[in-house]
Amino acid sequence: MPASMTQPDFEQAAALCRGDAEPVEYGIILGSGLSILDELEDRRDTSYRDIPGFPPSTVEGHKGLLSIGRIPGGSRVAIARGRFHLYEGLPAASARYLVSLFAALGSHSVILSNAAGGLRADFTPGDLMLLSDQLNLTFRSSAEAGAVKFGQALYDPSWQAQALAIAGAQGLPVSQGVYVGLLGPSYETAGEIAFLSRFADAVGMSTVLEAQAAASLGLRALGVSCITNVAITTVGLAQTSHAEVMDVAQRASGHLERLLVALCKAS
């Protein structure tokens, strides 16, 4: 970690964000352009800028805001609107910050969402994919050696099954697959997409180190990708841009919101 960065004090950060409100049950990280759960009861927002030790969010489409409140008629949640990416020049340890803050806020369960490129031809932009597993091709780790066990499932299988059942009942376009996390920020070449599609179903630039952090803290995790572009079929036809990713993510946010609201009521 650069000398200028100190590890935040998560208990102090939690006290700042929560005030005297009750603990939260779920921590949710929203990916690029995923703008949901604005309507929380007793919503209380804290800018990352006001949390000592937190870097400001530099990516367009990321607000850099932590919202705490209650889903109407449901659970208390903390929603991170914006996350920290390695491509912003931040150290791998910064991927622990939001997850550690959720834990300090009382949460035992985290939902990690992201915008991702689809590596299967049967995807349609706006589909959701639950992460069954991940390939960490950032070549970094956010967990101490030994904190994540050999072959450990980072994403809770029974929570995935529950999410799939809810999606089926609600008619939401949700499948399961392996997510590969790269360093970014550039999008993949045709050769890279061909290579990655042999091993994974969706590609993005986040989430993998947060899932390691959640596992090392003993938190239950669910990962959800919003497929903003079908990388495998658009090679050579169109260029994926951050603007396009945000546009589709915004339009697909409704599916994600319905899934998460039902899930946070059910589990």
Active site residues: 32, 62, 85, 87-88, 115, 205-206, 229, 242
CB closer to ligand HPA out of 111 and 231: 231
User: Mind spelling out the 3-state secondary structure of 135-197?
Assistant: EECCCCCCCCCCCCCCCCCCCCHHHHHHHHHHHHHHCCCEEEEEEEECCCCCCCCHHHHHHHC
**CA–CA separation, 253 vs 245, rounded Å?**
12
Is 187 near ligand HPA (CB under 6 A)? yes
Q: Shortest distance, CB of residue 116 to ligand HPA, whole angstroms?
A: 5
In the list 69, 117, 125, 181, the residue contacting ligand HPA (rule: CB under 6 A) is 117
Is 116 near ligand HPA (CB under 6 A)? yes
Q: Shortest distance, CB of residue 148 to ligand HPA, whole angstroms?
A: 23
Interacting stretch for ligand HPA, rule CB under 6 A, among 36-44, 50-58, 223-231, 251-259?
223-231
3-state SS, residue 216:
helix
DSSP sequence for 60-108: TT---EEEEEE-TTS-EEEEEES---GGGT--GGGGGHHHHHHHHTT-S
Q: Report yes or no: 211 and 138 within 8 Å, Cβ to Cβ.
A: no
| Measured CA angle at 66 (ends 61, 68), to 5 deg | 130
Is 246 near ligand HPA (CB under 6 A)? no
Is 250 near ligand HPA (CB under 6 A)? no
**CA–CA separation, 217 vs 93, rounded Å?**
13
In the list 115, 172, 174, 196, the residue contacting ligand HPA (rule: CB under 6 A) is 115
Is 248 near ligand HPA (CB under 6 A)? no
How many residues sit in the footprint of ligand HPA (CB under 6 A)? Answer: 13
3-state SS, residue 229:
strand
| Measured CA angle at 142 (ends 200, 174), to 5 deg | 35
Is 231 near ligand HPA (CB under 6 A)? yes
Q: Shortest distance, CB of residue 61 to ligand HPA, whole angstroms?
A: 11
Residues 126-185 that bind ligand HPA (CB under 6 A): none
3-state SS, residue 29:
strand
Q: Which residue's Cβ lies closest to ligand HPA?
A: 117
Residues 197-216 that bind ligand HPA (CB under 6 A): 203-205
Site residues for ligand HPA per CB under 6 A = 115-117, 187-188, 203-205, 228-229, 231, 240, 245
